[in-house]
Structure 1
Amino acid sequence: LIQPVTGTSIWADYLRDHGPGIHHIRFNTFDMDAVVGYLAQNGIGIAQRGSGIRPGTSWANFDTQDLVGFTIEVMKALPGTSGRTPKIVDGKVVD
Structure 2
Amino acid sequence: MSLVSGPIFQICWVVEDIVAAEEHFTEHFGVARWLRLPDVHFGPDQCTYRGRPADYVVHVSLGYAGGQQLELIQPVSGQSLYTEHLERSGPGVHHMAWVPHDFEATLAEAGRRGLPVVAQGRFEGVGMEFAYLDAGPLGGYVELMKLSDEMRALFDSLVPESPKG
Task: Among all aligned residue pairs of Structure 1 and Structure 2, give the percentage whose two residues are the same amino acid.
Answer: 28
Q: Extract unaligned runs of 5+ from structure 2.
A: 1-71, 159-165
Structure of greater Rg: 2
SS of the residue corresponding to residue 55 of structure 1 reads: coil
The C-alpha deviation readout for 1:23-67, integer Å capped at 9, x for no partner, is: 111111241111111111111011111113763321111122x33
CA distance in 1, matches of 2:97, 2:154: 9
CA contact under 8 A between 1:51 and 1:59: conserved in structure 2? yes
* 2:84 is the counterpart of 1:24: no
For 1:4-83, list aligned pairs within 5 A.
Answer: 4-52=75-123, 55-64=126-135, 66-78=136-148, 80=149
* Residues 33 and 68 of structure 1: CA distance in aligned 2, closer, same or farther (over 3 Å): same
The C-alpha deviation readout for 1:9-35, integer Å capped at 9, x for no partner, is: 011001101111111111112411111
* TM superposition score normalised by structure 2: 0.46
Please tell me the residue identity of whatever aligns with 2:155.
Answer: P
Count of residue correspondences = 87
SS of the residue corresponding to residue 29 of structure 1 reads: coil
What's the C-alpha RMSD, in Å, of the aligned pairs? 2.6
